[in-house]
Amino acid sequence: RKIDKKEVLLKNDNFAYNCKVCQETCHQPCSDFRRGLCQSVINENIGGCKVCPGKCHYTQHKKESFKIEVTERKNPVEELAMIETRKLDLAEKDLKSKLAEMDRLKIEFYKIVILLKMSGEEGKEDQELLMNIEEIKIMFLD
């Protein structure tokens, strides 16, 4: 995965407490700022940040008029593979639905053929066509 980071300006005298090492915003809005430290995130005992991934020292942080936005991106190849897999799954469901409809229509067609044959002269051939629907399904769908 790729990580994108960009600076986003804050409005109306808002500030963020940003780590210069990790390139992340540790606290925003930051109004609890004394002695150059953001009291909300600094661990007074060790002087390190409680929020940033590197637990960096407070001297590596700065009060700034922008926040750092972090977004993750998937590998483009993985992203494309996921999209194509979803498309394939949808197409497979659609195909199964269409095949079931086609099977249903085949049965209806053969029912009509049998009824038409029965309505005319009944001969030996016509008698052979008189099967129950289950036999027709087996004959034409398997």
Average pLDDT over residues 99-108: 88
- pLDDT given for residue 3 in this prediction: 74
Q: Write down the pLDDT at residue 98.
A: 92
Backbone φ, ψ for residue 51 (5° rounding)? -110, -50
pTM for the model: 0.46
Average the pLDDT over 11-39 and give the result.
76
Q: What is the pLDDT of residues 49-87, one digit of tens each?
A: 888 878 888 788 888 889 988 887 767 777 778 778 888
Q: Is 42 left (phi over 0), alpha (psi -120 to 50) or beta?
A: beta
pLDDT the model gives residue 96:
93
Of the pLDDT bands very low, low, confident and very high (cuts 50, 70, 90), residue 92 is: very high
Tokens of 13: 């005298």
pLDDT of residue 136: 62
Reported confidence tier of residue 24, pLDDT bands at 50, 70, 90: confident
More confident position, 131 or 9: 9
Query: Pairing state of beta strands 61-64 and 16-19?
Result: antiparallel
